[in-house]
Structure 1
Amino acid sequence: MAQRWTAGNRVELLENGEQFFPRVFEAVRTAEREVIIETFILFEDKVGLALHEAMCAAARRGVKVDLMIDGFGSPNLSDAFIEGLGEAGVRVRVFDPGRRLLGQRLNLFRRMHRKLTVIDGRLAFVGGINFSADHLMDFGPKAKQDYAVELEGPIVSEIHRFVLHAIAVGNKGPGWFRRRLKAAPPVDQAAAAGEAEVQFVTRDNRRHTNDIERHYLAAIRTARRRIVIANAYFFPGYRLIKALRRAARRGVEVNLILQGEPDMPIVKVGASMLYHHLLHAGVCIHEYCRRPLHGKVALVDDRWSTVGSSNLDPLSLSLNLEANVIVRDAAFAARLGERLEHLMQHECKKIDVAELSEWSAWRLVRSFFVFHLLRWYPSWVAWLPRHAPRLHPLVDQGPHGGAARTDNA
């Protein structure tokens, strides 16, 4: 797909499951023609069951409902859960289901990590929030801090076309794609809903291998006043680290919000290995300590911002299928900036370079290897298999609405 700026959009920031889930579930319940959901994780907890109920109700009243999940991220859905969707008429597909070896999932690389929802071709949700209860505050200390956006306007037509094309390429073929697309208005005919310019940017393993990273780099290199990046899994490539250091040295206020209470300890270990490089260049690092950070958002100056599924780590930048929106709008940037400033002021610990241990022989050796790993890993990961992504149907729907599970992924 061509990636272009699309004007006339309404963009609303949604923070955490408390804001995200009610909006999505209400949109599914009121859908008139079509619901398409892509998610990396769908768990059979209270959030997953609520989505199950909403999708089944929509399908029973004649709405076309398509659900796509990742084989690694959503491996444990029960037969009853899947067959219930199929019996209601929901089409369920899994991205690259993997066979287990001694109980271990082996399909780790090149995952479908996108989180996209499109309703009737007129409303879309894009972000980093999965359909699981750990995105709600009442989950406890391990509840995740995260963000998504609700979109309305011409950009939704582009996102709609993208998700239809993903189903067609993975499973259904071009004829199905053309028939479904007839019901979707072209981008240039979609009614304006707001003032924001938006670009929908994806990462795949064919034609768009580094598009999200390129947009980050372009924004950082042209920043004049401030950069704020909140990213859960931060271990970016050499070019991005260099761009951040150069921005700080030319007087841009650069703030990173990283995990202080990570869901996986190795996340903090990896990011902390970069602290000396960044702090000595003038970059400010804030560790979010209230609970695990799962957000993937950024803000540059007063108009450019991005929200999506892409982390700044090797998996997201070089392997996974990802999707972000980039927004040019002062009002949206101000709202996102306000929420990130709240995190930095009230829920983060600012890292002081004086607190870091003095350089040692081991730290020098480690720093050397980290530097060259960051410099060369994009070339190395290109050698990993680039299989064509396939969407496998999990249920067969019979002529009378019956369904049977066809895959145990």
Structure 2
Amino acid sequence: MSSPPMDKADVEHLSTTPPIREPGVVDVEYGWQGNNRLELLENGEAYFPRVFEAMRQATTEILLETFIVFEDKVGDELQEVLIAAAQRGVRITASLDGFGCGELSTGYLTALSEAGVRIQIFDPAPKHLGIRTNWFRRLHRKIVVVDGTIAFIGGINFSADHLADFGPEAKQDYSVEVQGPAVADIHHFALLQSGRPARAKYWWQRRTQRRSELAFTDHDGQVRLVYRDNGEHPTDIEEVYRQVLRSAQRRVVIANAYFFPGYRLLREIRNAARRGVDVRLILQGQPDMLAAKLAARMTYDYLLKSGVQIYEYCDRPLHGKVALVDEDWSTVGSSNLDPLSLSLNLEANVLIRDRAFNRDLFERLEDLSNNHCKVMSTEKSPRGRVWHMTVGFLVFHFLRHFPAWAGWLPAHKPRLKPFSHSAGSDTR
């Protein structure tokens, strides 16, 4: 029988432990790296076997960042694999979000810690009246790096609801396996979250780096890591989306679980469709949170009237965060296109220039939209009387700005803190 979730005393101990560092404040950008081998992993059936096998083969190091670990068959296997690796001398750091992993029992974490796994909890907080209050500024990244030679990045958490046998609520999602020079950047980024120093780039170097996003080449296997933090890179992922939308010539496909971007990104999507680009959005039709569907539908009229095609995926909850532009640009990662991901959460995506990968992703999304979605039209788009439009306008702006307002609360200052299995020691 598993131990109960961390109680107030556990969290108070974590909260009073000296912080390792405040994550998301290191000013470093990563450039394009060529000659990488890439594999798209769809859902837990493809992702978990590859990740666990890589961990079982690890000889020196495992770095893991994730939003959610549940104590189910996937979480239990993760625990087993990490403990076995630690016992054979592999250095392991697991960075877990305090909200997404808030239900993990002290026993689960203690077993890992006692085996030698270094556990870091991002922004742990006790429940108040049985309710978790640390909703905002989440560590939402999903990254695994093994031995500095193989990396996984995407939207899949370590939970059984990413497997089809979970039932109707099983999530549809994606990750990518990377091998090659780009792994060094992903590895470096993961190490930074533990406090490794890095030289900052000057403003003109950052501008040159962003401009290079539009400099498409004929070389496949290129990968670039981009991330969003609450320091020097608060808009990097959103800026990449806007840049490639402006450069799109033939097609754009965006599959995103929580779609509620701001006006600038919506405008670039609309403008691409207006100039004749085939623009398709695959959004939630069977959401795990009803508010996500309602928020997304507020944008439908604006986009449909400009020629954007909108598909709602109805088989099960869509959890993916992927996109492609033309025949050689793709992105896979953890960032939704909503206020939380674009304004508050710590996120990471990889940008990919590879025709074979782009084609694979396009074929899978094409199958999704053609065979598992309903097509939205202006007739199906929610509209109505003036008061409906007025309420929609007010709700739109409230939802857009509420996360930022909540983030201003003085009591909320996220930290990455070590978990220790005894009051007199920590895992640093």
TM range (shorter): 0.7 to 0.9
| Pair 1:138–1:360, CA change in 2 (3 A) | same
| Pair 1:384–1:247, CA change in 2 (3 A) | farther
Q: Is the 8 A contact 1:236 1:374 kept in 2?
A: no
1:198 aligned onto 2:223:
yes
TM-score by length of 2: 0.84
Q: Is the 8 A contact 1:41 1:131 kept in 2?
A: yes
Counting matched residue pairs gives 379
Quote the Cα distance in structure 2 between the aligned partners of 1:387 and 1:344.
Answer: 41
What amino acid is the match of 1:282? G
Tell me, which stretches of 5 or more residues in structure 2 are unaligned?
A: 1-27, 199-218
What amino acid is the match of 1:120? D
> 1:55 maps to what in 2?
82
Which whole-Å deviations, capped at 9, do the CAs of 1:200-252 have from their partners, x for residues lacking one? Answer: 00000000000000000001111111110000000001101111111111111
Quote the Cα distance in structure 1 between the aligned partners of 2:410 and 2:241.
Answer: 26
| Pair 1:357–1:237, CA change in 2 (3 A) | closer
Please show how residues 295-334 of structure 1 align to structure 2 within 5 Å. 295-334=320-359
Q: Is the 8 A contact 1:393 1:406 kept in 2?
A: no
> 1:37 maps to what in 2?
64
Structure 1 vs Structure 2 CA RMSD = 2.2
Which whole-Å deviations, capped at 9, do the CAs of 1:51-98 have from their partners, x for residues lacking one? Answer: 000000000000001111000000111222111111211111100101
What amino acid is the match of 2:52? F
Match of 1:276 among 293, 301, 317: 301
Please show how residues 62-73 of structure 1 align to structure 2 within 5 Å. 62-73=89-100
What amino acid is the match of 1:257? I
Determine what percentage of the aligned residue pairs are the same residue: 57
Please show how residues 228-239 of structure 1 align to structure 2 within 5 Å. 228-239=253-264
Q: Is the 8 A contact 2:136 2:403 kept in 1?
A: no
Q: Is the 8 A contact 1:235 1:312 kept in 2?
A: yes
TM-score by length of 1: 0.88
Tell me, which stretches of 5 or more residues in structure 1 are unaligned?
A: 176-193, 397-402
Quote the Cα distance in structure 2 between the aligned partners of 1:308 and 1:105.
Answer: 26
| Pair 1:404–1:47, CA change in 2 (3 A) | farther
SS in 1 for 2:148: coil
Q: Is the 8 A contact 1:155 1:198 kept in 2?
A: yes
> 2:269 maps to what in 1?
244
Q: Is the 8 A contact 1:394 1:405 kept in 2?
A: no
> 2:379 maps to what in 1?
354
Q: Is the 8 A contact 2:220 2:355 kept in 1?
A: no
1:4 aligned onto 2:31:
yes
Please show how residues 127-276 of structure 1 align to structure 2 within 5 Å. 127-168=154-195, 195-276=220-301
Quote the Cα distance in structure 2 between the aligned partners of 1:371 and 1:35.
Answer: 42
1:303: how far off? 0.7
Quote the Cα distance in structure 2 between the aligned partners of 1:34 and 1:312.
Answer: 32
Quote the Cα distance in structure 1 between the aligned partners of 2:349 and 2:425.
Answer: 32
SS in 2 for 1:6: coil
> 2:9 maps to what in 1?
none
Q: Is the 8 A contact 2:322 2:331 kept in 1?
A: yes
| Pair 1:264–1:160, CA change in 2 (3 A) | same
Q: Is the 8 A contact 1:134 1:144 kept in 2?
A: yes
1:139: how far off? 0.1
